[in-house]
């Protein structure tokens, strides 16, 4: 199959960019079904934005269900489920491991 350069339009900025024959061959070798939608600058910008915002850490201040101490946990607690401070969690974890 012979590939020829194609001019595509970026869905983000509307600029035209060239989808080269070499890139098309690479896409075909990898089994990619769709042509690229974004020019290289927009693709880089999108990847940078997704990488920085994907794993936003959540810190929630709550009360330990075992000792009553105020603690911070790295998740949003589910209603009806106990939440433990670090010390109580480690104790419960050690006790659970000892049971096996």
Q: How far is CA 18 from CA 13, 21, 32, 72, in A?
A: 14, 9, 17, 51
Q: What is the pLDDT of residue 54?
A: 55
Mean pLDDT of 31-59: 83
Range from 1-5, 29-33, 69-73 carrying the lowest mean pLDDT:
1-5
Domains in the chain, number = 2
Among 35, 34, 37, smallest CA distance to 13 is for 37
Q: What is the pLDDT of residue 74?
A: 87
- Position 1 in a domain: no
pLDDT the model gives residue 86:
92
Confidence of residue 41 (pLDDT cuts 50, 70, 90): very high
Clarify whether residues 65 and 92 are in a common domain: yes
Q: What is the pTM of this model?
A: 0.49
pLDDT in the model for residue 24: 94
**Confidence label for 29 from pLDDT (cuts 50, 70 and 90):** very high
Range of the domain at 81: 60-99
| pLDDT value, residue 58 | 79
DSSP letters of 19-74? E-HHHHHHHHHHT--S---S-HHHHHHHHHHHHHHTTPPP-EEEE-TTT--EEEES
Final residue of a structural domain among 53, 70, 88: 53
Q: Are residues 33 and 65 in the same domain?
A: no
**94 shares a domain with 66:** yes
My answer on whether 13 and 41 are in the same domain is: yes
């Amino acid at each position: 199959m012979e590939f020829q350069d194609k001019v595509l339009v970026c869905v983000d900025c509307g600029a035209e960019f060239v989808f080269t024959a070499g890139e098309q061959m690479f896409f075909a070798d990898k089994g990619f079904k769709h042509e690229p939608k974004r020019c290289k600058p927009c693709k880089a910008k999108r990847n940078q934005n997704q990488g920085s915002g994907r794993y936003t850490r959540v810190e929630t201040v709550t009360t330990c269900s075992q000792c009553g101490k105020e603690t911070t946990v790295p998740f949003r607690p589910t209603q009806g489920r106990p939440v433990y401070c670090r010390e109580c969690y480690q104790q419960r974890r050690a006790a659970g491991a000892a049971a096996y």
